Structure 1
Amino acid sequence: MLNIQEEMQESFREHVDEDLIMDCMRCGFCLPACPTYIHTEQNEMHSPRGRIALMKAMRDGNVIWDGSIEESFDVCLGCRACEPACPAGVQYGALIEQTRDAIQAAKPQKLKEKVIRKTAFEGLFADQSKMAGTVKLVQFYQKSGLQKVTRKVGFLNLFPPFMKEMESVLPEIEKRKERSESRKPRTLKVAFFTGCLMDTLFQATNRKTIELLEWLGCEVIIPEGQECCGALHGHSGELEKGLRNARHNLNSFDSDDYDYIVNNAGGCGAFLLEYEKHLKDDPKYREKAERFSRKQMDISSLFVKLGMNARLKTIESAGDVMVTYQDSCHLRNVSKVFMEPRSLLMDAPGYDYKELIGADTCCGSAGIYNLLQPEMSRRILDAKMGHVKELQPAIIVTSNPGCLMQMQVGIRREGLDKEMKAVHIVDFLYEVVYS
C-alpha cells in the first residue's frame, strides 16, 4: 500500500504534463506580474516560477509533500497574469489546474471537505435548478425582513469577517420577468450564455444585457438546458466534473443558427473559450468544442462590434463624472479583452474616463478565492483600494460578478459608500442609454 508521499508523486506524474513544465526557462519575467509573490515579500514559493519548480520536484520525488507545498498551490489566485508576461509562452493556467487535480486525486479528505465539495461541485454548480432554488432562499431572506433582523441582532458577527462583508454587498434579487420578444428587424443572431450566478443573483444584469443587444440590432437566443460553465470546478481540482458541465453546454449550444455565443462574465468567458483546449482529445466532443470556442465573444467586444461607441456619441448628456475600470483577470489575460470595455467608457457621454493604477492586477476575488484565502485576498484588495483612493472615481466599472462584489466590499470597508460605487459594465451602459 502506497503512503501519502508515494501517492502524491504518482498523482503528479499522472496528472501534470512534464512537457508543459519544461517550457519554463526560469527567467523570472513572471515574478513582478504575480500578486502573491509581491504580497508575500517576494517569496519564491508563491511565484509561478517557484510553483512550477515544485511541480517538477513532486513529479521527480525530490521534495517531501507537506503543508507548505500545498499552501503554495492553494495561495495561487489562478489570475494568469504570468502568462502574458512569459516570453516562453508557458501554459501556467493548464499547469495549476492539473496540479490541483493531482492533489485532490491523492489527498485524504476529511468528512467536512467531502461534504462541501460534493454539495458545491456535484450539486449547486452542476444543476442550475439547485442554484436557482438557493437564490430563491436568498431572495426570501432579503424580502421577508429576515435580513434586517439578522443584521440588527448581530447574528452575522458569528461568521468570519469576510463572510459578513460579502453578505452586505449581495445584490437585491429582482423577481424573474417574462421576456417579451421584440419585433424590430434584426441584423445579427446571437446565443446568450446566461451563467449560473449571472442568471440568478444578477438576473437584472442579464435582462439589461438582452435589452442592449436588441437595441443594437441583435436577435438574442437563450438555449435551454444551460449549466454552470465549469470554471469553478476547473480551478478547484475538479476539472473532470467541470468538463461534465462543458459537454452538457456543448449539447445545448450545438447549432449553426447563430453568429456568436455571447457572455457577460469575464471568468466564465475565459473557461468557455478554453472548452476547445480541454476537450481536444475527446473524439465525441472535439469538433463541437472547436465550433463553440470559435463563436465565443465577450459582451463588451460584441457591443463594440455592433457599433455601440458611435451610438453612445449621439446621446446628449451633461456632466463630467469620473469613471474608471477594473479588469477581470481572465477576461484580460486569457480572452485578451481589455481595450474594448475602456473604449466604451471613454465614449460614454457625461463621463470622464481615468485609468486606475494597477487595473490590470487581480482584485483578490478570483472565483471563491476570497472565501478560501481571506487573509491574502484582503491584502490584495487593500492594495487595490489604495490606488482607488488615490484616483477618487465616482464609479468603478467591472466585467465579472466576483470582481464586482469584491470591489463593493473594498468600497464599504474603506467607508467610501457615499462617494463612489462599483457596477457591472452592462448596468453602467444601460443607465447611459436609457437614463
Structure 2
Amino acid sequence: MTSSKKQKAIQNQFRERMNEDELMNCMRCGFCLPSCPTYIESGLQELHSPRGRIAVMKAVVDGLIEPDEDVERTLNICLGCRACEPVCPSGVRYGHLLEEARDIIQQNKKHSWPVRVLRKLVFKELFPYPNRVRIATASLGFYQRSGLQTFLQRTRLSHVLPAHLREMEKVLPSAPTLKKMKKRPKHLPAQGEAKRRVAFFSGCLMDTLFIETNDATMKLLQLAGCEIVIPSLQTCCGALHGHSGEKEQAKWLAKRNIEAFEQCQADAIITNAGGCGAFLIEYDHLLKDDSDWADRAKAFVEKVRDISAILIELGFQHKGLKLPPQIVTYQDSCHLRNVMRTSSAPRQLLQSIAGVEFREMRESDRCCGSAGIYNIVEPEMAMQILDHKMVHVEQTGATTIVTANPGCLLQMKLGIERKGLGEKVRAVHIVEVLFEAVKESGLFEESKDGQAG
C-alpha cells in the first residue's frame, strides 16, 4: 500500500470508528493541562496535552490534516495515564479515544520485518499463553542464577544494550523456578469464618516474575475471611495489547477471561495490579459492540475489585497491624487511581499500621513514567518524569515507597537506583508491606501447604 493510500485508509477508519460525540465533548477548557505529565515535561507543548491530541484526532476525522508520522508521534508520546479524565468537566473518556486511534494506525502500519516478528512473538505467541510466560520467566531465572548475568555485567558485554535497559535489568526481581511457577493453588479456604467467596485474577507477570506478591495477596485475602478460587483457564488481561494497537487480540483475551471467571460463581474478582485491574474493569467497553458478549462483559466488570478496596471493606485495617518504625510514602498507580478510582483504600491501610509514619508525597498522583512498556519505548521522557518524581520522594524523607502495580514498582526501584538511594530507601508493593505487618503482628499461621491456615 502506498503512503497516500495508507493515509486514506487510516482517515476513513478514523471517520468510521472514532467516537465523534466524545471528540466533540472536549470543550478545550484546559483543565486537563496541569494533570498531564507529557505536557508539563515537554515545556507546555499543546500537541503533548490531552486537549491537543483530541484536536489532532478530530482534525484527522475532518480531513484537515493527514494521519502522518507526526500524528502517530503525538499519540505515542502519551503515557496513557488518564490523569486527564477525573479532572475533565465534560467527562471525556480520553483513554478510549487514544486506544482506538492507536489501533487504527497500528493495523495500517507497515512495520519492518524485525518489528513484525517481535510484535507477533510478544502479542500473539507469548502473553496469551501462561505456560510460555512461565518458561520465559524460568529462562530469566537461569540467566540470573547461572552467573551469566554477573559475567556479562563485569565484562561490560551487557553494554550492547541501551543504557536504560541495563539500568532496568538491575532492578528486576529474582525470577522463580519453573517448578515453583507450575505449583499454583486452585482453591484456598478462608482463615476462620468465610465472609466472601472471591476469584483471584493472578495475571501473567504477577504470577511469574512477581509470584511472591501474588502469594502474599492470597494470604491476606484468606486472613480477611475470603474463600479463594483461582481459575486455571484465565490468561493475560490484554492491557498490553489494548494499549499497543492490538485491539482484536485484546478482545479475544477478554472473552477467555470472562468465560474462565463465569464458572467460579464468586462474589468478587480480585486483582492486585492497577494496570490489569483498569483493563479488566473496562471489558464492557471493549466488547460493547459484540451482542454475544456485551452483557457477559458487564456482569464481569461489576465484580472487579482491587485488593486494597476489598480489604478495607472487610475491615482489615482494624487487625492491629504493626511494623518497626519507618517513614512510608505512597505512589499512586495511575490506572488504579484514574480508572478504577481507588486511591483512599491503600492510604487507609498504610495509615492503620502501628509504627508507620505516613507522609503524602507531592504529586503522588502523577505518573512515575512506567506506563506499561512506555519506559522501554520512550526512555527519554520516562526518565525525565522519573527523575522529577524522585525529587518529591526525597522531600518526604521516606525509607519505604509503596505502590500497587508491578510496572510502577520496577520504575520506583529504578528511581532509587538512579539516585543511589539503595542503602536508605526501598520500594515495595502494598501487599508486601501489609503481609510484613501481618507477620510482625503474629497474625499469620503457616499451614503445611504454605498458605494461611
Name the TM-score class by shorter chain. Answer: over 0.9
Instruction: Tell me the equivalent position of 1:405.
Output: 410
Pairwise CA distance, 1:189: 0.8
Cα pair 1:141 1:147 within 8 Å, conserved: yes
Give, as a single letter, the amino acid of the residue that structure 2 aligns with 1:68: D
Pairwise CA distance, 1:397: 0.2
Out of 335, 353, 361, the position equivalent to 2:358 is 353
Cα pair 1:8 1:107 within 8 Å, conserved: no
Cα pair 1:11 1:106 within 8 Å, conserved: no
Residue 66, structure 1, aligned to residue 68, structure 2 = yes
Residue 417, structure 1, aligned to residue 425, structure 2 = no
Within 1, Cα distance between the matches of 2:322 and 2:86? 39
Give, as a single letter, the amino acid of the residue that structure 1 aligns with 2:300: F
Within 2, Cα distance between the matches of 1:65 and 1:257? 46
Secondary structure of the 1:350 match is: strand
Pairwise CA distance, 1:183: 7.3
1:214-247 deviation digits (Å, cap 9, x = unpaired) = 1111111101111110011111111111111000
Secondary structure of the 1:42 match is: coil
Pairwise CA distance, 1:256: 5.8
Tell me: CA distance 1:375–1:219, structure 2 relative to 1, closer, same or farther (3 Å).
Answer: same
Instruction: Tell me the equivalent position of 1:55.
Output: 57
Pairwise CA distance, 1:8: 2.4
Pairwise CA distance, 1:65: 3.3
- Taking the TM superposition and a 5 Å limit, the aligned residue runs for 1:230-249 are 230-249=238-257
1:337-371 deviation digits (Å, cap 9, x = unpaired) = 00000001111121100000010000000000000
Pairwise CA distance, 1:68: 2.1
Instruction: Tell me the equivalent position of 1:225.
Output: 233
Residue 341, structure 1, aligned to residue 343, structure 2 = no
Within 1, Cα distance between the matches of 2:184 and 2:287? 35
Residue 262, structure 1, aligned to residue 270, structure 2 = yes
Within 1, Cα distance between the matches of 2:37 and 2:166? 25
Within 1, Cα distance between the matches of 2:393 and 2:363? 10
Cα pair 2:238 2:253 within 8 Å, conserved: yes
Cα pair 1:16 1:102 within 8 Å, conserved: no
Cα pair 1:262 1:297 within 8 Å, conserved: yes
Out of 278, 283, 305, the position equivalent to 1:297 is 305
Secondary structure of the 1:320 match is: strand
Cα pair 1:326 1:359 within 8 Å, conserved: yes
Tell me: CA distance 1:9–1:315, structure 2 relative to 1, closer, same or farther (3 Å).
Answer: closer
Give, as a single letter, the amino acid of the residue that structure 2 aligns with 1:239: K
Instruction: Tell me the equivalent position of 2:260.
Output: 252
RMSD (CA atoms): 1.5
Within 1, Cα distance between the matches of 2:162 and 2:328? 32
Instruction: Tell me the equivalent position of 2:82.
Output: 80
Give, as a single letter, the amino acid of the residue that structure 1 aligns with 2:36: C
Within 2, Cα distance between the matches of 1:60 and 1:191? 46
Secondary structure of the 1:3 match is: helix
Give the number of equivalent residue pairs. Answer: 432
Pairwise CA distance, 1:257: 2.3
Residue 26, structure 1, aligned to residue 28, structure 2 = yes
Out of 131, 137, 140, the position equivalent to 2:139 is 137
Pairwise CA distance, 1:107: 2.0
Cα pair 1:230 1:241 within 8 Å, conserved: yes
Out of 269, 272, 283, the position equivalent to 1:275 is 283
Tell me: CA distance 1:380–1:10, structure 2 relative to 1, closer, same or farther (3 Å).
Answer: same
Cα pair 1:169 1:408 within 8 Å, conserved: yes
1:256-287 deviation digits (Å, cap 9, x = unpaired) = 62111000000000100001121122121122
- Taking the TM superposition and a 5 Å limit, the aligned residue runs for 1:3-402 are 3-175=5-177, 176=180, 177=183, 179=185, 181-182=188-189, 184=191, 185-255=193-263, 257-311=265-319, 314-315=320-321, 319-402=324-407
Pairwise CA distance, 1:252: 0.3
TM-score, normalisation: structure 2: 0.93
Within 1, Cα distance between the matches of 2:184 and 2:96? 40
Give, as a single letter, the amino acid of the residue that structure 2 aligns with 1:142: Q
Give, as a single letter, the amino acid of the residue that structure 1 aligns with 2:325: D
List gaps (5 residues or longer) in structure 2.
Answer: 441-453
Pairwise CA distance, 1:15: 2.7
Pairwise CA distance, 1:315: 3.9
Give, as a single letter, the amino acid of the residue that structure 2 aligns with 1:8: I
Within 2, Cα distance between the matches of 1:158 and 1:390? 35
Pairwise CA distance, 1:161: 1.0
List gaps (5 residues or longer) in structure 1.
Answer: none
Within 2, Cα distance between the matches of 1:247 and 1:316? 42
1:186-218 deviation digits (Å, cap 9, x = unpaired) = 221100000011011001111111111111111
Moved more, 125-134 or 425-434: 125-134
Within 1, Cα distance between the matches of 2:312 and 2:242? 30
Cα pair 1:11 1:105 within 8 Å, conserved: no
Moved more, 215-224 or 13-22: 13-22
Give, as a single letter, the amino acid of the residue that structure 2 aligns with 1:158: V
